[in-house]
Amino acid sequence: MFSFIILVVGLVLLVKCADIFVDGSSNIAKAFGIPALIIGLTIVAFGTSAPEAAVSITAALKGSNEISIGNVVGSNICNSLLILGLCGLFKALKAKEEVKKRDFPYYLLSALVLFIIVSEYFLAGESIGYITRTNGLILLCFLGIYMVSLLSDVKRNQKNDNKEEKTKFRIKDLLSIILGIAGIIIGGQFVVNGATQIARNIGVSESVIALTIIAIGTSLPELVTSIVATKKGELDIAVGNVIGSNIFNILFILGTTSVITPLALNFQTYIDIIFMLVSSILVFLMLMKNNRIGNKKGLCMLAMYVVYTAYILCR
């Protein structure tokens, strides 16, 4: 009963603080003339990925590699299929040219790099693969390149585009962002702790917990933030949040975690990484066609997520 109460409290915190966070981020973006898309890809994406970072780094330090890697891979699959799918049911999602030409391809590149890093072990016939400290530094370097690209585009947009709507900067909006991030992180931890305890009480394995309950739990900030942003018409934040979070999860979280301590993974986790890469490519192709994700595509993405979850539970 206590675990269930923690779970409910966490969900309430997530919903309320995500609403506050989206409002504050949107207002700050307008005050500085920064496109909402960039805010979604950076501040919102990194803030809502904080639960994944906390869980993966803590798990790695405790030697729970299955949770550390499974949390990131499961969260990215959840973000791509479940979150974008649900958002597509609320309102047809459209992507700006920057997302199609820069951000989504960069996410696919990040997933491909991760796939290549771990493939060398399994293609050589080994039963265990590793993400070494050197691999972690490579991932962090890719993150640095991506951030430089974003900042360059911000400067270019501010210099060439004077049509960006600006508002007065308010301390209240900055406090809203801080309060929102704090609430999202705390709420995410409450949800994960409550759900994990419930799962363990019924005898679910650590791997299943990482790929399902923990992955969904740590993705709840992205889920709530993206849905709230979609309902408010902030589609740039909704899409940018998901794509930015996925890039951040692979490059920063796995990069930082593996630099701290090398991560080992089994063949089942390798299959999950392949599914993450393939599903991301399919979502990208869906977005490229007609430049929108509506009801039909959203339902298709949700069906893919249900099939994947069933596969995890059956294996």
Q: Report the pLDDT value the prediction gives residue 219, as an integer from 0 to 100.
A: 81
Helix (H, G, I), strand (E, B) or coil at 51: helix
Q: pLDDT tens for residues 300-314? A: 999 999 999 999 988
pLDDT: is 184 or 143 the higher one? 143
Q: Report the pLDDT value the prediction gives residue 259, as an integer from 0 to 100.
A: 94
Residue 69: pLDDT band (50, 70, 90) is very high
For residue 142, give the amino acid letter. Answer: F
Q: Report the pLDDT value the prediction gives residue 153, as an integer from 0 to 100.
A: 73
Residue 94 predicted with pLDDT over 70? yes
Residue 254 predicted with pLDDT over 90? yes
For residue 114, give the amino acid letter. Answer: L
Q: Report the pLDDT value the prediction gives residue 289, as an integer from 0 to 100.
A: 82
Q: pLDDT tens for residues 201-224? A: 877 776 787 788 888 877 877 788
Contact 73, 207 (CB under 8 A): no
CB atoms within 10 A of CB 16: 17
User: What are residue 254's phi and psi, to 5 degrees?
Assistant: -70, -35
Q: Report the pLDDT value the prediction gives residue 208, as an integer from 0 to 100.
A: 81
Q: Work out the average pLDDT over 121-146.
A: 94
Q: Set out the domains of the chain in order of their start, with CATH numbers.
A: 2-160+171-314 (1.20.1420.30)
Residue 245 predicted with pLDDT over 60? yes
Contact 254, 95 (CB under 8 A): no
Q: Work out the average pLDDT over 222-228.
A: 80
Q: Report the pLDDT value the prediction gives residue 244, as an integer from 0 to 100.
A: 84
Q: Is the pTM of this model over 0.75?
A: yes
Can you tell me the distance from the alpha carbon of 250 to that of 110, in angstroms, rounded to the nearest whole number?
7
Residue 194 predicted with pLDDT over 90? no
Q: Report the pLDDT value the prediction gives residue 23, as an integer from 0 to 100.
A: 80
Residues in the chain: 315
Percent share of the chain, pLDDT over 70: 90
Q: Report the pLDDT value the prediction gives residue 170, as an integer from 0 to 100.
A: 85
Contact 241, 102 (CB under 8 A): no
Can you tell me the distance from the alpha carbon of 271 to that of 299, in angstroms, rounded to the nearest whole number?
24
Q: Work out the average pLDDT over 19-41.
A: 74
CB atoms within 10 A of CB 3: 15
CB atoms within 10 A of CB 256: 17
Q: pLDDT tens for residues 148-168? A: 888 787 667 656 555 555 667
pLDDT: is 41 or 301 the higher one? 301
